[in-house]
Chains A and B, each alone.
Chain A
């Protein structure tokens, strides 16, 4: 199988769908001729034409707004928001329009669109290039929110998102674009080449929305994570010798609650990880659901390891990022309880 990094896998997913389906269009700021600031759309305009992959004005509300109109008119737009930090001008179009169009028209109109956007920190991005706003979207009924952690899932999940008849927000952890990252900024950067999940099949395949991935099986503690944090979890558990059941959620809404429930009922312990700020973050939803479903199996309080409740700082990058030390403390704490 071809080896790809996450950017190549994402580009390949769009290429596959554009080749199969003339209704698939790709657009956003700088995605056309230039191929995207992260190269995720490189070559697509040249291969598929100006009409299929094009640049837009700098207007996030406009980008999502035209995507909704196109989707309602039978196309399958894949819109890019350059950074998730800049998605807020489009929030009204996403929350009030894309997510509710099917419901408020009782199925008369639908919006089968995909919004791709890079998320997450660990790259010295500061306040406006590091945010993880997923909880603002998982709270929206009618929208699906997914986030891959590796090239294989990224491609399969993006194809599934493009083929989905509901609006899908596709979050791309930019720290993982070129290689897995286990939370140690001083270790040499790793590449996806040679990684099991960097083996990406050519052509069409799907990773179904709503299905989590069991990254590794264990009996000591269940770790719920997504995006960059799954690799931090794996490294820390390994270093501490904890036999963790690590679940990469992949899909936040819909959530694979079945896999989570089974795992926590088996381990009796649960730690939840995310980069996003703590208060009202997606971890709160996960903790609440685990508590409701697994209360009698729990042997320790559910712990959350998250970013602090501050804007994402620049100089304090590694003091903010929920890295190995914070994750390790939490794992030790639940194991000692």
Chain B
């Protein structure tokens, strides 16, 4: 082989992240845009007028805390303080649940550290009745929509308070009453389902919209293509969100073809409006979502939004990120932390101070601890789980079928 004369110069190219464990990560080449461009077009503009928005980055918050540019949303200080609380609550819950998993109270958990603004800014801009098709890392939407944190914890603990009766692994929530679609373990599948949901809204002349999520890794699934294609073909009133947190477990975003072009830019080829937004800037996430929601509701069709952020924690409790990326990379990532940035903004506009902030963090920590205690009092997986085993035969079909009844009897006999 080696002696064969090469007829071409093509070589197999395998993308690699710039930094691996042991390296000193340096992201000085990533220029954080300060010009606060691109501008905010009319939400019903032709899709191709957003092509610039697919490659640049919508930002509102400067690191000083100042809001700038024409995407500044009108949000009252009270609402911003509530958003800050939701961010802190989500992070506190994640921390608590991660630790409890480490103590063996539950089999598994997934944090959303660093990505809280994507969920909460997004939820703030939608109606609570707009159906969201989340992945497993948008728990902030539930927190913002006022879902019972205790019920969420009970789901993770698979105990007698689990609304899913122990059928699903932790974090795969389902809360129809909060417009939060049942989470599947199969990546990407919910994208096209959300488009179908939105098509049904349009068919019924409802002004409800759907919002679907994927990480950047799962944009490589066929379902992402289906979703963009169908959303464009039928002008479905939906938002397709790509949360680009740079990592799909151990694979950097280049492994999902992220080196050549932004993920938002995929939308342009399908004739969709596209926005690329600083995902650690809750005001920018809010403003972009609001724009896309208005477009969808007024019949302008779907928008693809790339939320540019960073996954600060490991992929899950089963993952150790120090095995594939530098330990301090989350700290040197140039877009900062969403919680800190909103805090700085509130302080900048004179609506918050360090003392209040310290008190808030202590408060939410305590609140989460108390809720967790009440949730764990209903059982956990390592102790005596109180979910009735016979419920495993329920909800396979609307009504039980003869062969399932028979298996239920077999199981009962096995129990005697």
Contact = CB atoms under 8 A, between A and B. Distances in A.
Interface of A: 25, 51, 56-57, 59, 61-62, 65-75, 89, 92-93, 96-97, 100-110, 141-142, 144, 164-166, 210, 254-255, 257-258
A96 B193 CA distance: 12
Contacts of A59: 226, 229-230
A104 B403 contact: no
Contacts of A61: 192, 222-223, 226
Q: Which of A61, A74, A75, A102 has the most CB of B within 10 A?
A: A61
Contacts of B200: 69-70, 73-75
B167 A103 contact: yes
B348 to A, nearest CB: 42
A255 B403 contact: yes
Contacts of A100: 184
A69 B193 contact: yes
A70 B197 contact: yes
A216 B189 CA distance: 45
Interface in B202-247: 203-204, 210, 222-223, 226-227, 229-230, 233
A57 B226 CA distance: 9
Given A93-B192, A97-B193, A109-B176, A103 B395 contact: yes
B220 to A, nearest CB: 14
16 contacts: A62-B226, A65-B192, A65-B195, A66-B192, A67-B196, A73-B201, A89-B222, A102-B397, A102-B398, A104-B172, A104-B182, A105-B164, A106-B164, A110-B398, A144-B397, A164-B398
A163 to B, nearest CB: 11
A108 B201 contact: no
A92 B182 contact: no
Contacts of A97: 184, 186, 189, 193
Contacts of A62: 192, 226-227, 229-230
A75 B200 CA distance: 7
Contact of A109 (B167, B168, B174, B222): B174
B401 interface: yes
Contacts of A109: 174, 176, 181-182
B300 interface: no
A193 to B, nearest CB: 37
B131 interface: yes
Interface in B36-66: none
Pairs of residues from A and B, 9 with the lowest C-beta to C-beta distance, nearest first: A69-B196, A65-B192, A66-B196, A62-B226, A105-B182, A105-B174, A69-B193, A73-B200, A69-B197
B86 to A, nearest CB: 23
B175 interface: yes
A59 B397 CA distance: 27
A12 to B, nearest CB: 23
A108 B165 contact: no
Given A65-B223, A108-B176, A142 B195 contact: no
B60 to A, nearest CB: 32
Contact of A106 (B167, B197, B403): B167
Q: Which of B168, B227, B233, B397 has the most CB of A within 10 A?
A: B397
B321 interface: no
Interface string B154-172: 0000000001110110001
Contact of A69 (B199, B394, B397, B398): B199
